[in-house]
Structure 1
Amino acid sequence: MSVERILDPRLRDRIVSAEQAAAFIQPGETVAMSGFTGSGYPKAVPLALAQRIEQVHEQGLPFQIKLLTGASTAPELDGALAKADGIAMRMPFQSDPDARKRINEGKLDYIDIHLSHVAQHVWFGFYGDIDTAVIEVSAIREDGALVPSTSVGNNKTWLDLAKKVIIEVNEWQPEGIEGMHDIYYGTALPPHRKPIPLIHANDRIGQTTLNVDPDKIVAVVRTNGPDRNSPFKPIDDESKLIAGHLIEFFKHEIGKGRLPPNLLPLQSGVGNIPNAVLAGLAESGLRGLTSFTEVIQDGMLDLLKSGVLEYASCTGFALSPEANETFKRDIAFYRERIIMRTQEISNHPELVRRLGCIGMNGMLEVDLYGNVNSTHVMGSRIMNGIGGSGDFTRNGFLSTFLSPSTAKNGAISSIVPMVSHVDHTEHDVAIIVTEQGLADLRGLPPRARARVVIDNCAHPDFRDQLNDYFDRACRDSYGKHTPHLLPEALSWHQRYIDTGSMKA
């Protein structure tokens, strides 16, 4: 490898191997690493650290770290460290199967918080000191400024607060990505905060590089490895139906004058259903769309290429391998249309409300009154985490949740009497969409919400069962405002645990 991307002469003598860099990380440290939904995470140092941890464990000695990131990462980071039993605590979002298994076995402590809260909570000192930051960049400029790679996440905060910094310079990342980022250094702690000067989703309010004190950099590691994002599955008929219901609703709202013809800035969660919505928008006839979101996935690149989407603001990517190659090949085109921000800006509640974002997120289940569970299977087993969905749900102009009406080949109903875990309360949820239809909950009292959810979103295999529960609840409940039969409210979940099906 060349050293052309490491242009600061002060750092040339700090270029070391991943193993040498990992040796700077000590047991018990709080380590903050870059990465957001499988993009821009360090590729080499975490693997070397995991190997070192395994060697220490073979000697009968303890070695774990507390791990903070932007969001989920990849097998080389979360997976390797989890397999090595090297993580004592993980925060704020994960999607790795090995880490998830350890969390649900009670062997790994996990703190699941809103992504907009992470940076400020760390600044407030809620999680103690940051001992080491491990950050991937695409280049180091002559003046020591860092050119971010395919995610920004919490990197600004990690670099500001860490006592030691390890930099991975990844030559796989396209050189043309420089200039795509917008790093805002105007935030302050209460009570000295000033308004963030962002009025439109494509406003630039910061600089294109990250600052770091060069004296804190203890190691620079050269890498050349791809981001690891899973290919998206082909869009199935169920996802197409969900997308169709939502797009029909958007057009209805435009006709009523409640949305402008080009909608409002879109936020899209990651997954096949949100990707199906993006594909549907390409065929909807809508034009001049914009996005203020966390993650850009395949469908959003397609919308930019076709001109349906004018621009997108994000903090990271979640691209299939094929889309990654398209992005790298056409980087000059996308650099003019994509702005990458810090996580504290991309998910900032005040900005989400100011811009009037339309949130489109997935869920595991929703109850009759609109409470949404997006994180815990049967109330106890974590899937991934709340991520940024809450930032956009409570503060957006519209909050929509999308899901098939059943799971596990029809054994589980996504519409239940009472959710087994609440991530988003009924007060924040506006629209529920399944392949069966769309429930508009705006302006409805609780009992009316229940009827709309059952009639429009429940699967026919569970509709009679839901109506029977609700009818009896309206008759026999302790109160009539939000009727519940407490002995039965969570019985659907227990029945699934006991028998493998929610069906009565």
Structure 2
Amino acid sequence: MQEPTQRVADGVTTTDAAAAADLIPDDGIVPTSGLSAGPKDIAHELAASDRDLSLSVPASADAGFVADTELPNADALDLRYPFSAWPNLKRAINDGRVGFVDDHLSVVEQSVAQGYFGDPDVALVEALAVGEDWLIPTTAVGGVPGFVAAADEVIVEVNEALPLELQQMHDTWTPSTPPRDPIALSAPDERLGDQFVRFDPDKLAAVVRTENDPIAYPFRDPSDVERTIADNVVEFLADELAENPAFRERFAFEVGIGSLGNEIAERIGDLDLSDREAVYFGEVAQDGLLDLLESGTLSAASATALVLGENGIDKLLDRPELVADTVLTRSMSVSNDPGLIRAFGVVAINTAVEVDVYGHTNSSHVRGSQLLQGIGGSGDFARNSLLSMMVLPSTAQDGEISRIVPMASHVDHPDHDVEVVVTEHGVADLRGLTPDERFEELVGECAHPDFRPDLRRYGERAAEDGGHMPHDLPSAFDMHTE
């Protein structure tokens, strides 16, 4: 099939956003494109309506700024799955006004297809172009192929503000329902399919023309602490590249989304890669990666979405060919596939809320209760990477709270999945260490010096009762409560 030059193919009728929104049932199950490609005009019309809505919205991680801001404000959401990035939705979840299911991004398409939340009514998708039996996503593929296949109907927002050239970066192939063969991808820059998400033409319920500029992710300038953490990461990786034979020919890495992750991505350019090929195989491509692609440091980047700040969006709109020629955006079932992460030998670098003295890591819930965002793809990469790194400042609230703690208040990544921890104070390489040795490495290298005496006293109390991984349960959460 040839690349389309029209936004809406001949024979496809369009309607307005309000009319399209009226087609969505009041209590509909509405799998939704998201990340940087969430629906905007139709989500706004749903929120502005006087209907008594109670929508369940599985999405490609977050559902986009408009959907995850205006729908909770209008009390139009009953359930969201599987990730929360925007403040209004997080507030509604933590207040108990919206139900939320956290999950690994690698299984989202499969969970929706298997009807975990009921049979999907309408897939709501932002697209670059649409025909009677196909669509092309905008800046993210995410769960769209699986959502469109599972839903009874499809409603499409065609966003004409985005360059049509971006279609060249998409590979929308997604695996079938199990049992199935392993994904036959032999390199991060290899294609399995094309840019089209195909569907039965009887599913197409409405098409709406829109023109919405991309919404910038709120990256902030890194703090001095975060710059020091990035220094420590790069210094550690330089030694690892020199000593680990797995990186002799290729260095593949992934970084979590956020200001610290973006700073680390940019600093990868400081590594002496010699003759090694450097590739990105991860979940999102953010601003720092575009800089590496532009400089030639990276030969390719594979992700499920572009998630860009203002600088990245300027590059996207001014030079779409840079992105189209060097980035592959895939179904999240491929970008986060455990088998591919393992096969490509990915170094996973993800941020954490807190890490305990044995390496158990909390990535999602402040004080064990308040949702921050969700596990996202960090579990997919931490469990299956060649090298799993967790990075975080050693303290929070202006140094009043230690983020290296006796016992994690919530565990997303057990100690088995955490091999290296990095703070501004140093690097704890936990590979091959016993629990006692992990304790000493984490406290001695990563904890803030002001909190090391308390942590060591905790270790002494815990050791009185012995055990393989000693804990003093009566005082395990004192650092969280005092």
Q: Which residue of 1 aligns with 2:373?
A: 384
The alpha carbon displacement at 1:322 in A equals 2.2
- Provide structure 2 residue ranges, at least 5 long, that are not aligned to the other structure: none
CA distance in 2, matches of 1:428, 1:4: 47
CA distance in 2, matches of 1:144, 1:74: 25
Q: How does 1:204-243 map to 2 (within 5 A)?
A: 204-243=191-230
- In 2 relative to 1, CA 264–282 (structure 1 residues): closer, same or farther, beyond 3 Å? closer
Q: What are structure 1's unaligned runs of at least 5 residues?
A: 57-61, 496-504
SS of the aligned residue for 2:56 comes to strand
**Could you tell me how far 1:261 is from its partner in structure 2?**
4.7
Between the aligned partners of 2:459 and 2:68, the Cα distance in structure 1 is 43
* SS of alignment partner, residue 247 of structure 2: coil
- Aligned residue runs from structure 1 range 425-436, under 5 A: 425-436=414-425
**What residue is the counterpart of 2:71 in the other structure?**
81
Deviation (angstroms), 1:323: 1.3
1:11 aligns with 2:1: no
Q: 2:121 aligns with which of 128, 131, 137?
A: 131
Name 1:500's counterpart in structure 2. none
Write the distance in 1 (CA, Å) between the matches of 2:64 and 2:122: 19
How does 1:293-312 map onto structure 2 within 5 Å? Answer: 293-312=282-301
Secondary structure of 2:302's partner? strand
Find 1:336's aligned residue among 325, 328, 331: 325
Which residue number corresponds to residue 20 of structure 1?
A: 19
1:63-102 equivalences in 2 (<5 Å): 63-102=53-92
Name the SS of the counterpart of 1:48 in structure 2: helix
TM-aligned CA deviation for residue 271 of structure 1: 1.1
Q: 2:474 corresponds to which letter in structure 1? A: P
Contact 1:446/1:482 (8 A) holds in 2: yes
Give the Å deviation of 1:188: 2.4
Q: How well do the aligned residues superpose, as a CA RMSD in angstroms?
A: 1.6
Q: CA offsets, 1:120-149, max 9 Å, x none?
A: 1122222210001110000125x6421211
Q: Which amino acid aligns with 1:50?
A: A
Residue 182 of structure 1 aligns with which residue? 171
Q: Does 1:464 align with 2:463?
A: no
Q: Residue in 1 aligned with 2:481?
A: 494
Structure 1 position 46, deviation (Å): 0.3
Which aligned segments of 4 or more residues in structure 1 are displaced greater than 3 angstroms?
Answer: 3-7
Are 1:293 and 1:346, in contact at CA under 8 Å, matched by a contact in 2?
Answer: yes
Give yes or no for the alignment of 1:118 onto 2:108.
yes
Question: CA-to-partner distance for each residue in 1:176-209, whole Å, 9 max, x for gaps?
Answer: 1122111115x22223x01211011111111221
- Provide closer, same or farther for how the CA distance between residues 69 and 320 of structure 1 changes in structure 2, counting only shifts above 3 A: same
CA 1:258 to 1:250, structure 2 compared with 1: closer, same or farther past 3 Å?
farther
Secondary structure in 1 matching 2:455: helix
Counterpart selection for 1:351 from 340, 364, 374: 340
CA contact (8 A) 1:240 1:280 kept: no
Q: 2:236 aligns with which of 229, 235, 249?
A: 249
The answer to whether the Cα contact below 8 Å between 2:246 and 2:345 also exists between their aligned partners in 1 is no
Percent of paired sites with the same residue? 38
**Corresponding residue of 2:258:** 271
Give the Cα separation in 1 of the matches to 2:8 and 2:205: 16
Paired with 1:175 and 1:407, the residues of 2 have a C-alpha distance of: 43
Match for residue 273 of structure 2 among 286, 299, 303: 286
TM-fit CA distance, 1:4: 7.2
CA displacement, residues 373-410 of structure 1 (integer Å, 9 cap, x when unaligned): 00111111111100000000001101101100001111
Q: Residue 140 of structure 1 is aligned with which of 110, 118, 130? A: 130
SS in 2 for 1:119: helix
Aligned length: 477
| 1:417-428 mapped onto 2 (5 Å cutoff) | 417-428=406-417
Deviation of the 1:263 alpha carbon: 4.9
The partner residue of 1:322 within 311, 326, 339 is 311
After superposing the two structures, state which structure 1 stretch, 385-394 or 89-98, moved more. Answer: 89-98
Amino acid at match of 1:442: R
Structure 1 residue 226: deviation in Å? 1.7
TM-score, normalization: structure 2?
Answer: 0.96
**What is the deviation of 1:258?**
3.8
Between the aligned partners of 1:7 and 1:63, the Cα distance in structure 2 is: 30
| SS of structure 2 residue aligned to 1:290 | strand
The answer to whether the Cα contact below 8 Å between 1:201 and 1:291 also exists between their aligned partners in 2 is yes
CA distance in 2, matches of 1:308, 1:126: 42
Structure 1 partner of 2:184: 197
Partners of 2:133 and 2:368 lie apart in 1 by 48
Write out aligned runs for 1:37-76 (5 A): 39-52=36-49, 55-56=50-51, 62-76=52-66
2:99 aligned with 1:109:
yes
